[in-house]
Every structure is written in C-alpha cells, then in structure tokens.
Amino acid sequence: MTRIFPALALALLALLPASSARRLQEHGGDGPISAPNAVIPGGDFRKDNAAAGNLTLLNNAPAGSPLVALNPAFWELVDPDAAVEVLAAKNYSFAHEAPVWLPETQQLFFVSNRLTDASGSPVVEQWLLGLDTGELRQLTPDPPILMANGGTPYGKRKVLVTSQDLNDTNGGLWLLDVATQKSKPVVNNWGGLPVNSPNDVAVHGPSGAILFADPAYGFAQGFRPAPLVGNWVWLFHPPTNTTAPVADGFVKPNGVAFSPDFSIAYVTDTGAVDGTGQPASFAAAAPAIYAFDVELDGSGLPTLQRRRLFGVCPSGIPDGIKLDERGNVYVGVPGGVDVFDPTGLTLGSFAVGPTANLALAGDTLVMMQEKKITAVQLRVKGARLPLQAAE
C-alpha cells in the first residue's frame, strides 16, 4: 500500500484546477467516496464500445424519460418535465449536419447525410426549415456546394458552409445566401495545396477570423484523393486573405466552437471511428473534447494555446458542438446530446438517440437525428454567435 503524506497530498491538491480541487474536498472526510453507478457488477460492463450510446448504466433517469441528470445542475438548464418534440421527419437521412439558426427569418439551415443520386454518385442535400411555420424547403445552391457538412451564420440570411469536396473540384469554405441560393467559394487551399474535407466552422467575433476543422474523411470514404495536408484545425482571416494551421495532434478533428466571450476554443475529435462505419475504438482514440485558450498575436489574429482535455463522452464519439450563454457545452453523440459545464463536469444528457449535430435556437435545443429533427425547450439561451444577425 502506498501512503501519501498529508503535506504532499495538500501540495497535489493545490495543483488541481480550482473546480476539481473543490470537488475532491467536498467528497473528503467522512462523506461518501462513491456515487450511484460508480461501482457496477462486472457482468454488467459494456463489452463493446461500438454500441456506445447506451446510457442505462450511467444514470438514474425515470423510465421513459430522455432527460438524464448526472448532476443536479442539469435541471438549471432544462425543466425535468420538458418534452422532446419532432419538428420535421422523412424516411431517409435528410437531417445530419450543419444546423444554423437564422433568427431574423426564424429558419434553420441544415444538410443531409451522404446520399446517392440517380447516377450512383454521392450527394448531400441542403435544406431550410421554418421553425415558426414548419415549412421545409430544399435548396439548390448556385454554383453547387459539394458534400456540405458544417455551417455557421455569416449575416441575416447568409451561412458559411464547409464543403468536403468531391474528387478534386471545389472543397473548402463557401458562403451561401439562403434567400437567393447564390454561393461563392471563400477558401480552398493553403499555399496551393488543397485542404482535406472541411467538417465544421466557427467565427471568432473579435477578429472576424474563421476557424475550421479539416479531417481527411473524404479520403477514408472514397470520394477524395489522398490528403496532402494533415488532420488539422485551420484559421482563415478574410481581411488579409491568409490561411494557416493553428492546431494539430488530432486523429480526426471535427466540431469547433468558441466560448461566449471567445476566450476558449473547443474542438471535438471523432478519430475513434474512421468514417466508413467501422466499430468505434476508444483504445485507439478517445471520444474527446479539447479546449484551448484563445490569445491574440501581435497582428490581432487569434492563436490557440494551452491545449487540454476538456471532456470525454462515455456515450460515444463527440461530433457537433455548441455553447449556451452561460458557457455550458452541448455535444452531439451516439446517445443524443451530452452536456458539460464550463469546467468539464458532465451535467447530463438528452438521451434521444444518435445525434450528429445540434443548434441552440434561442432557448430551444434543436437536434439533427438523421430521419427526424427534434427539439426541446431550455431554461437558457444559446450563446449569441458573431454575425448571426448582421450584414
């Protein structure tokens, strides 16, 4: 048995983040050192994390309720009796990624999963949903935005859309006017080298710089050539027309977002799956969310500093990521939507089933669930995104 002397224990405690140290102190002394489901019978362990999304061992939710509180603070975000409603549904995967709320028109832009057209080629549909009317309208951008996947608002009726590209044509970032359906490319290369398959995008409000994740999923899924750049996170600065990688070390960087005050950047890593439907392997890559401090360099451009593990999603790989006005983090996972507080403490989950991405439309959580779009009323509002209603 190893003993930790009191002075050493206090020194180690002092090295922890304040929130972590406080939680350890609160559970010290004569208090309980375990919690419900902290210890389960060995025979009840999950045998295969390919089926991640089963939260039954991780919560005490009432039977039939999709709202799962792992911490009492979860109920500060949503009423325990809040109902999950279906906003739209189809018989195929029309609602997959890129949900962007446009408050001026009360519309939601989003895209489908990878489909196949009449010629057998892969295709991704782009849609608008009226949140106040329920009207669904398919868009046909001109020119086409191929294999669209991520999005963020860039004006009252404009959306920055990531294009994963098809073969070797026009991948990168595109700007789409959803009213006119006119589109134009924003950036698609770095020093002449093509980017991979941009997945998600966020705007840094103070500088106007655009952050986007660029995993090589197009190559893994057979619709892009071998990558010439890494699985990196990039920064594009429109005023100076400069593009540069700002973070590496990921298996497959995916979702990106900023805290409400833009002091922290978050990146999800979906490297536990290769994009071809192979089973998840948490041993190969954690279903992780990483956080970076955002600091401006001498020219006023944001840099990502002090990378750290923010959270791990036990219900599966974290995909799309959004924040509310209090800095809580919402992540789409195979089990639904996992929620973390600003320190990385897991608060709970909306256990509605596989959810690739989500949007916070005011005080409504909107979830992309492939064949349906669902929503639930919250007690908080989403963080106001830059350019969400500006032109």
264 lies in some domain: yes
Which residue positions in the chain have pLDDT lower than 70? 1-63, 168-170, 274-284, 388-391
Distance separating alpha carbons of residues 299 and 308, to the nearest angstrom: 25
Total structural domains within the chain: 1
Q: Is 10 left (phi over 0), alpha (psi -120 to 50) or beta?
A: alpha
237 lies in some domain: yes
Classify strands 346-350 and 85-89 as parallel, antiparallel or unpaired: unpaired
H helices present in the chain, as ranges: 6-15, 18-26, 217-220
Can you say how many angstroms the Cα of residue 374 is from the centroid of all Cα atoms in its chain?
17
13 lies in some domain: no
CB 70 within 8 A of CB 340: no
Residue 60's pLDDT is what?
Answer: 47
User: What CATH number did the domain enclosing 98 receive?
Assistant: 2.120.10.30
List the one residue out of 166, 206, 205 whose CA is nearest residue 188: 166
Residue 77's pLDDT is what?
Answer: 98
The one-letter code for the residue type at 275 is G
36 lies in some domain: no
Residue 83's pLDDT is what?
Answer: 94
Q: What is the pTM of this model?
A: 0.86
List the one residue out of 382, 264, 346 whose CA is nearest residue 19: 346
Residue 357's pLDDT is what?
Answer: 98
Crossing angle of helices 18-26 and 6-15, in 10° steps, is 140
Strands laid side by side in the 232-237 sheet: 200-203, 210-214, 232-237, 242-247
293 lies in some domain: yes
Residue 282's pLDDT is what?
Answer: 65
Write the pLDDT tens digit of every residue in 73-113: 999 999 999 999 999 999 999 999 999 999 999 999 999 99
315 lies in some domain: yes
CB atoms within 10 A of CB 208: 15
114 lies in some domain: yes
- Domain span at 204: 92-275+282-324
- Token readout for 180 is 């006119």
Write the pLDDT tens digit of every residue in 166-224: 776 667 999 999 999 999 999 999 999 989 989 999 999 999 999 999 998 888 777 77
Query: CA dist 256 to 135, 202, 334, Å?
Result: 29, 6, 18
Residue 303's pLDDT is what?
Answer: 97
Residue 63's pLDDT is what?
Answer: 62
146 lies in some domain: yes
